[in-house]
Amino acid sequence: MIRILLRYLVLFSLTFLTLSALSFSLVYLFPTEPVTTLTGITPQNLVQHEALVTQYHLDDSYLVQFAHYLGDLFNGNWGVSLFSGEPLLDEIMLALPATIELSAYAMSIVLVVGIPLGCYSGLKAYTGSDYTINSVSVVVNSVPVVWLAVIFILTFSLQFGWLPLSGRINLLFDIPSQTGFLFIDILLTDNIDTARALKDAFLHLILPTLAIAFISTAALVRITRRSVIDVLNQPYIIAARAKGLSSRQIFFRHVLRNALLPALPLLAMQITTLITNAMIVETLFSWPGIGSWLIQAIYQRDYSALRMGMLAVSTLVVMITIAIDLFNRLIDPSREKYESVTI
Amino acid sequence: MPLLDIKNLTLEIDTGTQSIKALDKINLTVNSGEIRALVGESGSGKSLIVQAIAGATPPNWTITADRMSWSGNNLLSMSEQQRRQILRKDIGVVFQNALASLDPSVTLGEQLEESLPDQLVEGNWFWQRKQNRRKVVVSTVHKVGIKDHEHYLRAYPHQIPTDIGQKLMLAMALISQPKMLIADDPTRGMETTTKVQVLKLLSRLNQTRSLGILFVSHDLLAIASMSDTMTVLYCGQTVESGKMKNIRKRPLHPYTKALLDSAPSFTKDLPPKSELPTLAGTIPTLQHLPIGCRLGPRCPRAQRDCVNVPAVRKIHDHSYSCHFPLHRDKS
């Protein structure tokens, strides 16, 4: 057990090292001065330039620079934004939770809808309802998320006016950011109408969450369906039938677990798609998450922000992927204890 | 009344382009307390019969039969629920591929407990029942010849050797104290000592509990010593069926004779270094079944009439289907 955890920890550290090396290389690859990209400060005169170069060890060899770069990363000294001048750590810590929140809600919808629907479709394989579910999911999966989000806005916000157009919550509510997760922050804030704030936040959440969830649900339905069909053809299901178990017992005791175990790694791959989609949708709904933050940084040529944003997002994705694989390893008895880890 | 009575069982597999008669008018009965051997070479449809009886059939199979009854009740017309109850209480099935027939994500102990019907568990409270269930499982596992139950009941299917898997399948089939056991090659690939243990267990259960056994195998030597009656299958057709000793002494069907001859210990006076008798050719694949008597192309006695399916003929309780049977030329 500890051994497995250690292996995953080593894998994560190595991946993180590679990612930070990549982000460090951006310091030299971006078309500005390395000092500017690294610190986010444009030196006004030679003296300041000299001071920054010595502070960040830019005179030393690349390896020494990289070592100091890593040290700065862990100390929270991520540099400042080229554009706003705010420390990047603070900005990312404000934006990232908003994205995580959005993706988490979308993910739970995906799981709650996708798995039962996929199982149903798999159990009724090659019947009318299966074909319907399957073809709808193929169509939905091929829809670009941008288009879907725009259609949602057009219909539900502009045409009917049921749901708000953009943002996380009405600006009238003044919620100070404490954890970065809006619902927790609302509950922590004292002098507001909590119930109305929660309702408002919820209404703001519906459209972006659905836009993201739709596409990933479609993918998950098909993954689960395939997996269930495969399991149903296994000899042990025939054997379970011959034992005289009812279809219900067979499904819950033998089909479900065996179908979901191989589906889990595929789900991990879907999560990266989901986060990417979330970042696109954020921009459309002016959701103050890491996606719209990064796209702004691109518009403004905010090189230091791009560098750190890329590192933060990729680290998050790697963390989730490894966590899912670890989870899968822990619950799947057929995986060998000493099998090497992979992402 | 026989336990299991099957008359003219036909199984058609729809491959999408054509429909193949994988089993053609199979007749089979198993009486209470009888050991019936079902023999035939690989591809003759033995396992298909087992699956058809167990009711575990894929949607592209069509099963038709004039009669397929379990102690008088028609298996084909009864409800799913009734049929399940029969499988749960009265019939134990051992499938051919033991390790694949065990759920890879559940421990073997749990799978055994699952096969145990609730009626057989004593105790009123759940902890008593749990204890009792455990006790029954352990004793059944000991009975089939697994000593280290602590280890194997906690293991997952991929962690155990094949012969343990086969024994566990047997334990799973026997734990519900069935009236009949359908064993599809339960001793395949076992070493001789283990095999003898399993066969002894089966004959003992047959004698003490009058367990009816349908023993599917191609191991003639194992079968000959323990079974009372035998049904020979070739390519989805029953070729001969009757008392073991009658068939051994006087096989009427050329295929049965060839089968018996090919087992060296049955042919007593085999000179040293002589060629072993075999039937030329191989069993045809399901896609290329010959018409009429399916043995036709390989049969040493085939004549023009063999393009028609021979009718089942009966002499006492010995039935065969052949136009030109052995030993009956004079009549």
Residue A338 confidence class, pLDDT cut points 50, 70, 90: low
Residue A136 confidence class, pLDDT cut points 50, 70, 90: very high
Question: Are residue A106 and residue A204 in the same domain, yes or no?
Answer: yes
With an 8 Å Cβ cutoff, are A334 and B105 in contact?
yes
How many residues belong to chain A?
343
Question: Are residue A246 and residue A294 in the same domain, yes or no?
Answer: yes
Collapsing DSSP to helix, strand or coil, B4 comes out as: strand
Collapsing DSSP to helix, strand or coil, B80 comes out as: helix
Domain count, chain B: 1
Question: Are residue A54 and residue A5 in the same domain, yes or no?
Answer: yes
Range of the domain at A315: 1-39+41-78+302-343
Any CB–CB contact under 8 A between B156 and chain A?
A: yes
ipTM of the complex: 0.81
Percent of the residues in chain A that have a pLDDT greater than 90, as a whole number: 19
- Residue B234 belongs to a domain: yes
- Residue B263 belongs to a domain: yes
Interface test with A, best of B103, B113, B179 (most A CBs within 10 A): B103
Question: Are residue A141 and residue A258 in the same domain, yes or no?
Answer: yes
Strand order in the sheet with B237-243: B91-94, B180-184, B212-216, B35-39, B229-234, B237-243, B318-320, B313-315
- Residue A181 belongs to a domain: yes
Question: Are residue A173 and residue A56 in the same domain, yes or no?
Answer: no
What pLDDT sits at residue A217? 92
**Residue B195 to chain A, least CA–CA distance (Å):** 22
- Residue B142 belongs to a domain: no
**By mean pLDDT, which of A182-196, A233-247, A278-292, A311-325 is the weakest?**
A182-196
pLDDT exceeds cutoff 50 at B236: yes
Higher pLDDT, B132 or A336: B132
Any CB–CB contact under 8 A between B54 and chain A?
A: yes
Residue A139 confidence class, pLDDT cut points 50, 70, 90: very high
**Residue B176 to chain A, least CA–CA distance (Å):** 9
Phi then psi for residue B38, to 5 deg, are -120, 110
What pLDDT sits at residue A115? 92
Question: Are residue A324 and residue A230 in the same domain, yes or no?
Answer: no
Which residues of chain A are within 8 Å of residue B105 when distances are taken between CB atoms?
257-258, 261, 332-334
- Residue B153 belongs to a domain: no
Phi then psi for residue B243, to 5 deg, are -65, 140
Mean pLDDT of A131-149: 91
Question: Are residue A254 and residue A225 in the same domain, yes or no?
Answer: yes
Given the DSSP bridges, would you call strands B313-315 and B318-320 parallel, antiparallel or unpaired? antiparallel
Question: Are residue A26 and residue A124 in the same domain, yes or no?
Answer: no
Question: Are residue A106 and residue A246 in the same domain, yes or no?
Answer: yes
Which residues of chain B are within 8 Å of residue A244 when distances are taken between CB atoms?
84-89
- Residue B119 belongs to a domain: no
Residue A108 confidence class, pLDDT cut points 50, 70, 90: very high
Domain count, chain A: 2
pLDDT exceeds cutoff 90 at B2: no
What pLDDT sits at residue A223? 92
pLDDT exceeds cutoff 60 at A243: yes
Any CB–CB contact under 8 A between B166 and chain A?
A: no
Range of the domain at B269: 1-90+180-189+211-221+228-331
Q: Are A298 and A306 in contact (CB under 8 A)?
A: yes
Mean pLDDT of A73-77: 84
pLDDT (tens digit, 9 = 90+) per residue, A39-60? 878 888 888 888 888 888 888 8
With an 8 Å Cβ cutoff, are A242 and B54 in contact?
yes
- Residue B111 belongs to a domain: no
pLDDT (tens digit, 9 = 90+) per residue, A206-232? 889 999 999 999 999 999 999 999 998
**Residue A260 to chain B, least CA–CA distance (Å):** 11
pLDDT exceeds cutoff 60 at A343: no
Report CA dihedral (B143, B146, B147, B151) to the nearest 10 degrees. Answer: -130
- How far is it, in rounded angstroms, from Cα A47 to Cα A55? 12
How far is C-alpha B54 from the chain's CA centre?
11
Mean pLDDT of A52-77: 84
Higher pLDDT, B268 or B198: B198
Any CB–CB contact under 8 A between B102 and chain A?
A: yes
- Residue B201 belongs to a domain: no
B276 DSSP assignment:
P
Question: Are residue A192 and residue A107 in the same domain, yes or no?
Answer: yes
| CA nearest neighbour of B122 among B111, B135, B112 | B135
With an 8 Å Cβ cutoff, are B86 and A253 in contact?
no
Question: Are residue A202 and residue A163 in the same domain, yes or no?
Answer: yes
pLDDT (tens digit, 9 = 90+) per residue, B274-328? 777 777 777 888 778 788 788 878 888 778 888 888 888 888 788 888 888 777 6
- Residue B232 belongs to a domain: yes
What pLDDT sits at residue B267? 61
- Residue A83 belongs to a domain: no
Question: Are residue A205 and residue A330 in the same domain, yes or no?
Answer: no
Long-range contacts of A155-161 (CB under 8 A, 24+ apart): A156/A207, A157/A207
Residue B331 confidence class, pLDDT cut points 50, 70, 90: very low
Nearest residue of A to residue B93, measured between CA atoms: A242
CB-CB: which of A233, A243, A261 is closest to B105? A261
CB-CB: which of A241, A254, A334 is closest to B158? A334
CATH number at residue B62: 3.40.50.300
- Residue A276 belongs to a domain: yes
